[in-house]
């Protein structure tokens, strides 16, 4: 049970650390009623007990107005007297109320509307705790129950809502930063792509060099890379495209000029004629296509 409660308190205070900037040593404001409860329950080491509850280093504090309230009740009994002695050892929080005001008002003013000094309030005045639960977010509240156990109260609705707001603001900020980072990452990725686009070329050139070099070990990997590249559609296509052109041209009687040209080429391949004569003959054959004359007739002219 005690371990379970400790875990709950630890988690609760961690939320205050995360979302409200609390940090060790926690400043614990103690009111007169709490001090008297400690004294009544004969708690000799209030600092240790408070530190046990918040599971962190604590600094106990008391306001001037709380001290005045304690002094007023000092002569009422033994535990009130001990409460004053106990409170004297704590750090005095200067509230600057020259004439002591109502203790609840004093503590509320010290904590302020936002608890910017990040106080933990240890109070045995339900009225004050309720006031803070409703009015000020981010104030951890501790009270002392009937059996002398120090209890940390669950987070108030106001604090929970504020925490959610802080979380969403952080998320929005993180999202902004994330998008900025994403943009930077995209730019970096683009740069990386450019460099990687260069790097394969840089890889290829050594590969080509290594092919030229006689060392087999160096050849092995680039050769595989080249083989992989040959698997692509570019290499087979030129080979497959050439043959259909040669075969398709005779099959299709597209134009007589082409047919004559083919004939001329065949003859030029047969005979040891120069390419210049070929071209001239080809031109002549073009002229003679109307007459459908044979190549020999073109040569004679
Ligand atoms: Zn005061």
Ligand 1 center to 128 CA (angstroms):
14
**What single string gives the DSSP state of each residue in 61-130?**
EEEHHHHHHHHHTGGG-HHHHHHHHHHHTSEEE----SS---HHHHHHHHHTTTTTT-EEEE---HHHHH
Place of tokens 């003013």: 109
Ligand 1 center to 97 CA (angstroms):
5
Ligand 1 center to 87 CA (angstroms):
15
**pLDDT tens readout for residues 82-96:** 999 999 999 999 999
Ligand 1 center to 105 CA (angstroms):
8
Ligand 1 center to 102 CA (angstroms):
8
- For the cut 60, the answer to whether the pLDDT of residue 16 exceeds it is yes
Ligand 1 center to 36 CA (angstroms):
18
**pLDDT tens readout for residues 122-176:** 999 999 999 999 999 999 999 999 999 999 999 999 999 998 988 898 889 888 8
Q: Helix 103-111 vs helix 126-135: angle between axes, to the nearest 10 degrees?
A: 30
Ligand 1 center to 94 CA (angstroms):
7
Ligand 1 center to 63 CA (angstroms):
6
Q: Domain extents for the chain?
A: 2-155, 163-230, 237-289
**Which residues sit with Cβ closer than 5 angstroms to ligand 1, an ion?**
63, 65, 95, 97, 106
Ligand 1 center to 43 CA (angstroms):
26
Query: How much is the average pLDDT of 14-37?
Result: 94
Q: What is the pTM of this model?
A: 0.59
Ligand 1 center to 185 CA (angstroms):
55
155 SS3 class: coil
Residues 6+ away with beta carbon under 8 Å from 57? 24, 25, 26, 51
Q: Which structure tokens are listed for 245? A: 């052109």
**What single string gives the DSSP state of each residue in 51-64?**
HHHHTS-EEEEEEH
Q: Are strands 58-63 and 141-144 parallel, antiparallel or unpaired?
A: unpaired
pLDDT score, position 194: 54
User: Of 56-60, 120-124, 133-137, 240-244, which range is least confident?
Assistant: 240-244
Ligand 1 center to 252 CA (angstroms):
110
Ligand 1 center to 124 CA (angstroms):
17
Model confidence band, residue 109 (pLDDT cutoffs 50, 70, 90): very high
Q: Which structure tokens are listed for 1? A: 């049970």
217: DSSP letter: H
Architecture per CATH, domain 2-155, reads as 3-Layer(aba) Sandwich (3.40)
Q: Helix 32-40 vs helix 46-54: angle between axes, to the nearest 10 degrees?
A: 110
Ligand 1 center to 107 CA (angstroms):
7
**pLDDT tens readout for residues 186-231:** 666 666 555 554 444 444 444 444 444 444 444 445 445 555 555 5
Rounded to an integer, what distance in angstroms lies between the CA atom of residue 169 and that of residue 163? 10
Contact 275, 258 (CB under 8 A): no
């Amino acid at each position: 049970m005690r371990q379970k409660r400790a875990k709950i308190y630890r988690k609760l205070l961690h939320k205050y650390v995360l979302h409200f900037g609390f940090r060790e040593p926690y400043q614990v404001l103690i009111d007169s009623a709490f001090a008297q409860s400690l004294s009544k329950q004969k708690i000799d080491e209030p600092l240790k007990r408070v530190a046990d509850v918040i599971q962190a280093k604590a600094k106990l504090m008391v306001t001037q107005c709380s001290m005045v309230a304690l002094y007023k009740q000092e002569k009422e009994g033994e535990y009130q007297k001990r409460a004053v002695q106990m409170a004297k050892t704590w750090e005095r929080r200067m509230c600057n109320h020259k004439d002591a005001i109502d203790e609840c008002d004093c503590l509320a003013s010290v904590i302020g509307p936002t608890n910017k000094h990040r106080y933990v309030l240890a109070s045995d005045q339900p009225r004050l705790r309720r006031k803070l639960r409703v009015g000020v977010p981010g104030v951890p509240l501790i009270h002392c129950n009937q059996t002398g156990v120090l209890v940390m109260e669950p987070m108030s609705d106001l604090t929970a809502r504020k925490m959610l707001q802080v979380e969403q603001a952080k998320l929005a900020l993180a999202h902004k930063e994330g998008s900025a980072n994403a943009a930077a990452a995209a730019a970096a990725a683009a740069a990386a792509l450019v460099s990687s686009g260069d790097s394969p070329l840089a890889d290829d050139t050594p590969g080509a060099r290594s092919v030229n070099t006689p060392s087999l070990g160096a050849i092995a990997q680039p050769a595989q890379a080249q083989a992989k590249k040959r698997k692509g559609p570019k290499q087979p296509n030129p080979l497959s495209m050439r043959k259909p052109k040669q075969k398709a041209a005779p099959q299709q009687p597209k134009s007589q000029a082409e047919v004559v040209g083919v004939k001329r080429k065949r003859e030029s391949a047969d005979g040891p004629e120069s390419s210049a004569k070929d071209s001239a003959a080809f031109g002549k054959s073009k002229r003679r296509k109307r007459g459908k004359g044979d190549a020999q007739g073109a040569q004679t002219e």
